[in-house]
């Protein structure tokens, strides 16, 4: 516990090596990582957390690079997390991001970190949220989280961000992606990047059309659809302005939106936590026994599941609360 306190203090002072170590602890989903988040959660309230998500190769990293420039010009410090669930297998994409964002290497106002997760249940979004908390607590005024893809993980990561930018590219069938309900829900801003390419206008229209068919939640506005050419910086200043405007908590519907995200995040954590604890409490022996009984047609699958849940709940109750959950937050 004292080791965690010490590390938390060093993170609060903004020490890069402490921050790197702390992020590794949450990346590996350790108990120390969780304790750090407990220590530092309150300290990170002032940062703007920006999520940048979109299909592979859409130009996310190039855009992030442009956003770093904008933030630095405005005198704000930046922390970037490039989340790459595949890099533990390929090891390639992460290096690419390092090279590209290397332009900021000598700038102490920019901290860039690639993150891979070990693929536990809900691991990606949970580790990304935790790392964003650490960066914010370390005094980074702007925190940018880049995630590849437009799947459930990205929807989950988006709940961590104050503002989520969904990047699409002309000529790739991204219209279809954009229209998916999950993406509509998470996007605060749509960006059609590679606007120098054929079909950018058509994509903008398709997204706007799709948006007009979905009623925005009461009191909220439709997200703007912007165009950028990340490689030469066209439109990046307008994107930065849109991000700042979207982050203002007093904009229409802003508070309900944040509340909804926090609620989704909490529900997901509750589900993941209950599931993990039950699986541990039930154990492999009970599971094997029940499978054998199902094979012998002694018990049907529903009854087997009910019985295991009962066993798990009983054991969880008699074991009491695990030490990691018992610690109190705050001083």
Binding residues (CB under 6 A) for ligand GTP: these are: 56-62, 93, 148, 193-194, 196-197, 229-231
In the complex, least distance from residue 178 CB atom to ligand GTP, rounded to whole angstroms: 15
Residue 53 interacting with Mg ion (CB under 5 A)? no
Q: Which of 19, 39, 61, 191 binds Mg ion (CB under 5 A)?
A: 61
Residue 10 vs 98, nearer CB to Mg ion: 98
Report d(CA 231, CA 328) in Å as an integer: 48
Burial class (CB within 10 angstroms; exposed 0-12, middle 13-18, buried 19+) of 181: exposed
Residue number with the shortest CB distance to ligand GTP?
59
Which of 6-14, 54-62, 183-191, 315-323 is the region at the interface with Mg ion (rule: CB under 5 A)? 54-62
Cβ atoms of 149 and 55 within 8 Å: the answer is yes
- Total residue length of the chain: 331
In the complex, least distance from residue 41 CB atom to Mg ion, rounded to whole angstroms: 28
Percentages (nearest 5) of helix, strand, coil residues in the chain: 60, 15, 30
Report d(CA 144, CA 51) in Å as an integer: 6
Residue 193 interacting with Mg ion (CB under 5 A)? no
CB-CB neighbours of 297 under 10 Å: 7
In the complex, least distance from residue 93 CB atom to Mg ion, rounded to whole angstroms: 7
Report d(CA 21, CA 134) in Å as an integer: 11
In the complex, least distance from residue 225 CB atom to Mg ion, rounded to whole angstroms: 21
In the complex, least distance from residue 303 CB atom to ligand GTP, rounded to whole angstroms: 46
Residue 228 interacting with Mg ion (CB under 5 A)? no
Residue 59 contacts which entry, ligand GTP, Mg ion, none (Cβ below 5-8 A, type-dependent): ligand GTP
Residue 177 interacting with Mg ion (CB under 5 A)? no
Backbone conformation region of residue 51, classed left if phi is above 0, alpha if psi is from -120 to 50, else beta: beta
């Amino acid at each position: 516990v004292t080791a965690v306190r010490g590390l938390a203090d060093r993170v609060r002072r903004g020490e890069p090596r402490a921050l790197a170590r702390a992020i590794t602890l949450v990346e590996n989903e350790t108990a120390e990582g969780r304790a750090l988040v407990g220590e530092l959660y309150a300290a990170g309230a002032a940062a703007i957390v920006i999520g940048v998500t979109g299909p592979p190769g859409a130009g996310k990293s190039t855009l992030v690079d442009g956003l770093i420039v904008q933030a630095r010009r405005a005198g704000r410090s930046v922390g970037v997390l490039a989340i790459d669930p595949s890099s533990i297998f390929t090891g390639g994409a992460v290096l690419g991001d390092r090279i590209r964002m290397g332009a900021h290497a000598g700038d102490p106002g920019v901290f860039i970190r690639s993150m891979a997760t070990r693929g536990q249940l809900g691991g990606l979004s949970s580790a990304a949220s935790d790392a964003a908390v650490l960066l914010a607590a370390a005094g980074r005024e702007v925190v940018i989280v880049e995630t590849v893809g437009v799947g459930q993980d990205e929807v989950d990561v988006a709940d961590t961000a104050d503002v989520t930018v969904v990047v699409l590219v002309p000529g790739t069938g991204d219209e279809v992606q954009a229209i998916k309900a999950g993406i509509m829900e998470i996007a605060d801003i749509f960006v059609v990047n590679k606007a120098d390419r054929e079909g950018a206008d058509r994509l903008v229209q398709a997204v706007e059309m799709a948006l007009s068919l979905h009623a925005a939640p009461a009191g909220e506005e439709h997200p703007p659809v912007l165009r950028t050419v990340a490689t030469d910086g066209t439109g990046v200043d307008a994107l930065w302005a849109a991000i700042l405007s979207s982050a203002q908590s007093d904009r229409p519907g802003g508070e309900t939106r944040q509340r909804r995200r926090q609620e989704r995040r909490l529900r997901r954590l509750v589900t993941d936590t209950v599931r993990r604890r039950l699986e541990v409490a039930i154990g492999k022996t009970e599971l094997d026994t029940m499978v054998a009984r199902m094979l012998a047609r002694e018990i049907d699958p529903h009854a087997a599941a009910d019985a295991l849940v009962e066993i798990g709940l009983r054991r969880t109750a008699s074991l009491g609360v695990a030490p990691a959950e018992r610690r109190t937050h705050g001083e």
